[in-house]
Structure 1
Amino acid sequence: MSPEPEQLRGRVAALLERSRARSTALTDAVDEGDLVAQHSPLMSPLVWDLAHIGSQEELWLVRDVGGRAPLRPEIDGLYDAFRHSRSSRVSLPLLTPAEARTYVAEVRDKALDVLERSPLRGRRLEEEGFAFGMIVQHEQQHDETMLATHQLRTGSPVLHAPEPSAASWTGPREVLVPAGEFVQGTSAEPWALDNERPAHAVALPAYWIDAHPVTNGEYSAFVEDGGYRDPRWWSEEGWAHRTAEGLVAPQFWEKAGDVWWRRRFGVEEPVPADEPVMHVCFHEAAAYARWAGKRLPTEAEWEKAARWDPGTGRSRRFPWGDSEPTERHANLGQRHLRPAPVGAYPEGASPLGVAQLMGDVWEWCDSGWHPYPGFEAFPYKEYSEVFFGGDYKVLRGGSFGSDPSAVRATFRNWDHPIRRQIFSGFRCARDVGPGEAVG
């Protein structure tokens, strides 16, 4: 049942406030020099992300939903993500940090006024607050992007958060997913984005999937066994990339003596063996899987393991059920600045016993980026449609830097298979072997 407009209005306002508080914290944590600098050619200056957040909010909430006059039409082109590559944005005549902060505050004031006046019903863009939910998700997605930029900047730590709870994995290493149909995607989630739609039946043979993401300790065994020096484990494309880039370990890892260390938001620390491995590209994940005698799951296999309930035959909103995530279910929302050890969230496991599918690290899947049958672009083609095809690979599940409002068990992410500055990890899957029981 849909919430009443006033109840929905209050929820939207709270989510808008939460996303803006996070944007503010990420940009206030550094000085003006860090805000305007480009910390990597893969990322925009932080001040660009901030003003872009305001620009999208103005375009969709103030101008479209609200029908209001533009605030700063002359800057539209500067913050059009499709007009300027990330590497070129630092050279644009961007708003200064002070101007950007003033701009996003003015936009937010007008957007909140639009929220008060919107019926949150009727027009498709406003039905159940879709446009507002889209903007909440957009801001949180850019907040995660800004968090990744913080990881790439050099200098003393400026972000701080409590450590996740300690845990140890006591369950099975693999889980069998029985053969059969399940419903992938959604036609019911009100704030689901176009690429998550529509719901459709997918039939899969039985397969095994890891009960938890691959850990640093497990991955380091691949590194120490010479996995980066042996082309047997790599695809032709992956080996060419590994060779050209000189990859020898996950990004931010460095060996000192017999110990692997990593840099995490300005902190140098030994690599923790029990956390999910992070900052690996698709090619590294696929090479490890082959070395381990397995493979990466397809996107459909990942989603069935996450959503399918064998007791009811239906697909859940989240692995644990239909209720919104809490701190007991998953490591989301930047509560911590790292993945949690495997086994940290037993209440978040799927009915089949697959754990930590949401949060911690984005998980690479061995699927290209394609539309579902019956896909319809909404409300604009540039969110999903223009990216379909190409060399993109799918990532699922969110990371510790993903906000609960911006990730769910149907949410689909994608990136080039060489990218590893994102908070990316993986888990393995394998086919059912001859003679293995599947009943």
Structure 2
Amino acid sequence: MTTRSQAGTESQDAPRPGRGDLAELGVEGLRSRVAEELVRTRERSEVLTGSVDDDDLTRQHSPLMSPLVWDLAHIGSQEELWLVRDVGGAEAIRPDIDDLYDAFQHPRRDRPQLPLLGPAEARSYVGEVRTKVLDLLDRTPLEGRRLVEQAFAFGMIVQHEQQHDETMLATHQLRKGPPVLTADDPPAAGAEALPAEVLVPGGPFTMGTSTEPWALDNERPAHPVHVPDFLIDTTPVTNAAYRRFVEGGGYDQPRWWSEEGWAYRQHAELTAPRFWRRDGDGWLRRRFGHVEPLPPDEPVLHVSFHEAEAYARWAGKRLPTEQEWEKAARHDPRTGRSLRYPWGDGDPGPEHANLGQRHLRPAAAGAYPLGAAPCGARQLIGDVWEWTSSDFLPYPGFGAFPYREYSEVFFGPGHKVLRGGSFGTDAAACRGTFRNWDLPIRRQIFSGFRCARTPRPGELG
């Protein structure tokens, strides 16, 4: 069974207010937008779960991931908890399964042993929940309570489902067997020669947001940050560049690795990014069931924080801090404003970034010139999540909303921040302020990186 990957058509429609301008839509326009997002998102979930048979849905393809059928029912469970019960005040549909689909109650490795809903029952359940949600959307006042102002709870559920869709896409990458998803290739890079790195002048900028209506708690509030001069790579690090690190003995020399990173490299017996394998003098990679020659000009993918950090040290650079990454992506020196996206305030279109599973691979480094940031860096949004050197910590003035378990319980040195989204991230769950985080050993995610460095004395004149 081969299924066409979700292409995402919202950016091809006539111009309309972006997600940051929801107040301009009016109440009925806002209801219509929410309904469109819910339907569009569910279509993607159906592609990811409908492209495999029931055995594949219930199988655990890696102890790092849930069975696809767990993700599907979990999507419905969260939608029921927040929209049907909380926002709608309606009677619970399946209170008996709340514990089964509570992500904090059961580690992923243990979920296949639970009495989970089967594929048919899970589909019926999420369908029943969605019917009730669309009905309550028509009658819920979208004001008077923070949870529903500008349809926040509905936007939170759209983002939650899209985040699990990206997780399910990562599970597809881990599954064995022939390809079941297809998509067009991303656009090629232009012919112009790009500088290896760009300068971001020092000074203050506004980090985070207090105005983005569907921004999550860890993105808030907006606050001033001063960042000294730094240089950042124009594009993410490519396979060709990373291959030089691999073949130059980068995985064999502890001097490039942190103590924690070297211990992890030895324990996990890492020799290259995940899904790479040698083929004579060259390299192959596996991608959604395809085994293909390693494309040299694509951003490197499926590397851990430790690998990214080691490469950066080998290259004489470092990983950018989260503050540096966001300033490079959002700060417009002409106006002093922080933009919603590198290209401006408008929602992403196919000309700006590789998002939404429109393609099943990163675009070549240097693609999407219309998505460039004011500093000149490209592909800061989409293609690959980018590791930063920063721990996942709250912003000054942070307040957990609507529940502590979304962000607060993960704060601390155990998780590193990733920014920018990947080709598997939907535009609804990606913006210049969006923060992702994961353990520094994770490689199954669609993660890459770019390097930064502090100017050498006298370098800037």
Partner of 1:16: 38
| Aligned with 1:79 (options 101, 111, 118) | 101
Partner of 1:299: 322
Q: In structure 1, how many angstroms separate the alpha carbons of the residues matched to 2:193 and 2:153?
A: 43
| Aligned with 2:424 (options 385, 401, 408) | 401
Cα drift, residue 229 of structure 1 = 0.5
Q: In structure 1, how many angstroms separate the alpha carbons of the residues matched to 2:377 and 2:223?
A: 22
What SS is found at the alignment partner of 1:364? Answer: strand
Structure 1 residues 313-328: aligned runs within 5 Å: 313-328=336-351
Cα drift, residue 382 of structure 1 = 0.4
What SS is found at the alignment partner of 1:391? Answer: strand
| Aligned with 2:406 (options 383, 390, 409) | 383
After superposition, the C-alpha distances for 1:15-41 in whole angstroms (9 at most, x for unaligned) are 100110000010010011110000000
Cα drift, residue 181 of structure 1 = 0.3
Q: In structure 2, how many angstroms separate the alpha carbons of the residues matched to 1:322 and 1:64?
A: 32
Q: Does 1:48 align with 2:70?
A: yes
Partner of 2:358: 335
One-letter amino acid of the structure 2 residue matched with residue 68 of structure 1: A
Cα drift, residue 390 of structure 1 = 3.8
Partner of 1:88: 110
What SS is found at the alignment partner of 2:388? Answer: strand
One-letter amino acid of the structure 2 residue matched with residue 236 of structure 1: E
Structure 1 residues 115-130: aligned runs within 5 Å: 115-130=137-152
Q: In structure 1, how many angstroms separate the alpha carbons of the residues matched to 2:354 and 2:365?
A: 11
One-letter amino acid of the structure 1 residue matched with residue 294 of structure 2: V
Partner of 2:80: 58
What SS is found at the alignment partner of 2:162? Answer: helix
Partner of 1:106: 128
Q: Which runs of 5+ in 1 are unaligned?
A: none
Q: In structure 1, how many angstroms separate the alpha carbons of the residues matched to 2:166 and 2:135?
A: 27
Q: In structure 2, how many angstroms separate the alpha carbons of the residues matched to 1:298 and 1:67?
A: 43
Partner of 2:395: 372
Q: In structure 2, how many angstroms separate the alpha carbons of the residues matched to 1:28 and 1:302?
A: 37
After superposition, the C-alpha distances for 1:225-268 in whole angstroms (9 at most, x for unaligned) are 01000111000100010011110000000001011000000000
One-letter amino acid of the structure 1 residue matched with residue 99 of structure 2: G
What SS is found at the alignment partner of 1:103? Answer: helix
Partner of 1:312: 335
**In percent, how many aligned pairs have the same letter?**
70
One-letter amino acid of the structure 1 residue matched with residue 446 of structure 2: F
Partner of 2:377: 354
Q: In structure 2, how many angstroms separate the alpha carbons of the residues matched to 1:166 and 1:314?
A: 31
| Aligned with 2:433 (options 407, 410, 423) | 410
What SS is found at the alignment partner of 2:30? Answer: helix
| Aligned with 1:196 (options 219, 229, 241) | 219
Q: In structure 2, how many angstroms separate the alpha carbons of the residues matched to 1:88 and 1:430?
A: 42
| Aligned with 2:247 (options 220, 224, 228) | 224
Q: In structure 2, how many angstroms separate the alpha carbons of the residues matched to 1:48 and 1:170?
A: 47
Partner of 1:244: 267
Q: In structure 1, how many angstroms separate the alpha carbons of the residues matched to 2:448 and 2:366?
A: 16
Q: In structure 1, how many angstroms separate the alpha carbons of the residues matched to 2:48 and 2:396?
A: 38
After superposition, the C-alpha distances for 1:147-186 in whole angstroms (9 at most, x for unaligned) are 0000000000001101112214622111101110000000
What SS is found at the alignment partner of 1:202? Answer: strand
Q: In structure 1, how many angstroms separate the alpha carbons of the residues matched to 2:393 and 2:249?
A: 34
| Aligned with 1:422 (options 409, 421, 445) | 445
| Aligned with 1:68 (options 67, 90, 96) | 90
Cα drift, residue 83 of structure 1 = 0.4
Q: In structure 2, how many angstroms separate the alpha carbons of the residues matched to 1:433 and 1:323?
A: 36
Q: In structure 2, how many angstroms separate the alpha carbons of the residues matched to 1:71 and 1:257?
A: 57
Q: In structure 2, how many angstroms separate the alpha carbons of the residues matched to 1:165 and 1:409?
A: 22
After superposition, the C-alpha distances for 1:107-140 in whole angstroms (9 at most, x for unaligned) are 0000001110112112100000000000000000
| Aligned with 1:28 (options 46, 50, 53) | 50
Partner of 2:368: 345
Partner of 1:212: 235
Q: Does 1:172 align with 2:199?
A: no
Partner of 1:131: 153
After superposition, the C-alpha distances for 1:280-313 in whole angstroms (9 at most, x for unaligned) are 0000000000000000000000000000000000
Q: In structure 1, how many angstroms separate the alpha carbons of the residues matched to 2:413 and 2:323?
A: 19
TM-score, reference length from structure 1: 0.99
Cα drift, residue 391 of structure 1 = 1.3
Partner of 1:434: 457
Q: In structure 1, how many angstroms separate the alpha carbons of the residues matched to 2:416 and 2:153?
A: 27
What SS is found at the alignment partner of 1:109? Answer: helix
Q: In structure 2, how many angstroms separate the alpha carbons of the residues matched to 1:282 and 1:398?
A: 15
Q: Does 1:162 align with 2:184?
A: yes
Provide runs of 4+ in structure 1 moved above 6 Å.
Answer: none
Partner of 1:5: 27
Partner of 2:166: 144
Q: Does 1:234 align with 2:277?
A: no
After superposition, the C-alpha distances for 1:179-206 in whole angstroms (9 at most, x for unaligned) are 1000000000000000000000000110
Q: Which moved more, 1:187-196 or 1:429-438?
A: 429-438
Q: In structure 2, how many angstroms separate the alpha carbons of the residues matched to 1:427 and 1:337?
A: 20
One-letter amino acid of the structure 2 residue matched with residue 159 of structure 1: L
What SS is found at the alignment partner of 2:284? Answer: strand
What SS is found at the alignment partner of 1:261? Answer: strand
Q: In structure 2, how many angstroms separate the alpha carbons of the residues matched to 1:237 and 1:49?
A: 32
